[in-house]
Amino acid sequence: MSPQPGSLDFRVLVSELIATMLADAHKAGLDRHEVAARASRLTGKDVTKNMLDGYTAPAREEFNCPLWLAPVLEIVCCSTVLASWHASVHGGRVSVGAETLDSEIGRVMRERELADARLRELKDLRRRVK
C-alpha cells in the first residue's frame, strides 16, 4: 500500500509522543525545567521549558520539535519513544541494550546453522562423487 496524499502528517502524533516521553521523565523525577536545562547543556543551544511545552501542544501545528533535538530529548529522558515510532513508520523496530545483543546472537546462530547445513550438503556430495 502506498501512502496517500496528506496521510503522513505526523505533527500531532509527534507532539503526543514527546508529551509521553516528558511525562515518563517526570515520573522518574525530571521536570520539564530540568529536561530543558540538560538539553541546553548537551547541545550548547538554548532549550527552554516553554519550547518543550510548545512541542507537546498538538494545537500548535507550526511549532514542532526540530529533528536535531529529538535524540537529545530521548537521551535526557532515557527514552526511545521517538526512535521506536520512527522505525515503526518504516516497518522496523529499535533494539537497544541487551536486546541488541540478543538479536545479534540470534542472527549469528542462524548463520551458523545455515553454514552447518551447507557443510553437511557439501560433505554428502563429496562422498557421492568418490
Query: Model's pTM, two decimal places?
Result: 0.73
Please give the chain's pLDDT, 130 residues, in tens. Answer: 578 898 898 999 999 999 999 999 999 999 999 999 999 999 999 999 999 999 999 998 888 999 999 999 999 999 999 999 999 999 998 888 787 777 778 888 999 999 999 999 999 999 998 7
Pairwise CA distance, residues 125 & 130, whole Å:
9
Residue 87 domain flag:
yes
Residue 2 domain flag:
no
Residue 56 domain flag:
yes
- The number of domains in the chain is 2
At 36, give phi and psi (nearest 5°): -60, -45
Sequence-separated (6 or more) residues with CB below 8 Å from residue 64: 11, 14, 15, 55
- What is the residue range of 61's domain? 9-93
